[in-house]
Amino acid sequence: GAGVSQTPSNKVTEKGKYVELRCDPISGHTALYWYRQSLGQGPEFLIYFQGTGAADDSGLPNDRFFAVRPEGSVSTLKIQRTERGDSAVYLCASSPQRHSSYNEQFFGPGTRLTVL
Amino acid sequence: GQQVMQIPQYQHVQEGEDFTTYCNSSTTLSNIQWYKQRPGGHPVFLIQLVKSGEVKKQKRLTFQFGEAKKNSSLHITATQTTDVGTYFCAGKGAQKLVFGQGTRLTINP
């Protein structure tokens, strides 16, 4: 079956602009995660959804970042007033959450965001 | 907050040599996961360890979880060129995974 997909694959924007990044998780996966990965670093947690609700948004760096998952499948990460420091690869992952202690995460290919 | 440190940051070996990467958490973990990321790719799940002192093997890869559930290691025996990539550990606390910075493995054929 299809894996996690993310669009766009690349996004170049200017400082101060608004961007939306989309994630389509694996069908049936209830858990969805957003991460940000800078060059040479590990993925940095941003937010975790269980179903439609944000179960943990403690990784969002500030109020310019917001994410939604209105129907419990597709999610959108929204960044307002982008800054050059927001440039990174934004990764989405989903998990079947079969039971509470096991949550292998399936990552999408990422969206490379460049803020000029 | 929870921190996960991984060493070494880089490792270059000759094909056929062994490789080990170490992971240490500042807090006790409920479980630890390992991922591999090929150059230009995305992280791919390798394994999860849950029990104190647990050891799991996948062909040439051996994963260990420390007795105190604060450290872990990945050992690759007789590396092959297909092993090239960055290996990340990710420690799970209450909810979220915290990734280490990864160990980048390069191999001389």
Per residue in B80-103, pLDDT (tens digit) is 999 999 999 999 876 688 999 999
CA distance A44 to A37: 6
Per residue in A22-71, pLDDT (tens digit) is 999 999 999 999 999 999 999 999 999 999 999 899 999 999 999 999 99
pLDDT of residue A13: 98
Per residue in B34-53, pLDDT (tens digit) is 999 999 999 999 999 999 99
Asked whether the predicted pLDDT for residue A1 surpasses 60, the reply is no
CA distance B71 to B19: 17
Asked whether the predicted pLDDT for residue B55 surpasses 70, the reply is yes
Taking an 8 Å Cβ-Cβ cutoff, which residues of chain B contact chain A? 4, 6, 30-31, 33, 35, 41-45, 48, 50, 88, 90, 92, 95-102
How many percent of chain A have pLDDT more than 90?
Answer: 85
Per residue in B2-33, pLDDT (tens digit) is 899 999 999 999 999 999 999 999 999 999 99
B83 in helix, strand or coil? Answer: helix
Mean pLDDT estimate for chain B:
95
B90 neighbors B4 (Cβ within 8 angstroms): yes
Mean pLDDT estimate for chain A:
93
Asked whether the predicted pLDDT for residue A102 surpasses 70, the reply is no
Chain B residues in contact with A105 by the CB 8 A cut-off are 33, 43, 45, 97
In the block, which residue shows the tokens 């960044």? A79
Q: How far apart are the CA of A113 and the nearest CA of chain B, in angstroms?
A: 15
Asked whether the predicted pLDDT for residue A98 surpasses 70, the reply is no
How many percent of chain A have pLDDT more than 70?
Answer: 95
pLDDT-derived band at A103 (thresholds 50, 70, 90) equals confident
pLDDT of residue A15: 98
**Helix, strand, coil shares, percent, chain B, to 5:** 5, 55, 40
CA distance B32 to B69: 8
- The answer, yes or no, to whether the previous bond of B109 is cis (omega within 30 of 0) is no
Nearest Cα residue to B88 out of A37, A31, A111: A37
CA distance B60 to B79: 8
**A12 Cβ contact partners less than 8 Å away, ≥ 6 residues apart:** A114, A116
Q: Is A96 part of the contact surface with chain B (CB cutoff 8 Å)?
A: no
Asked whether the predicted pLDDT for residue A6 surpasses 90, the reply is yes
pLDDT of residue A97: 76
Sheet holding B55-58, edge to edge: B4-7, B19-25, B71-76, B61-65, B55-58
A84 in helix, strand or coil? Answer: helix
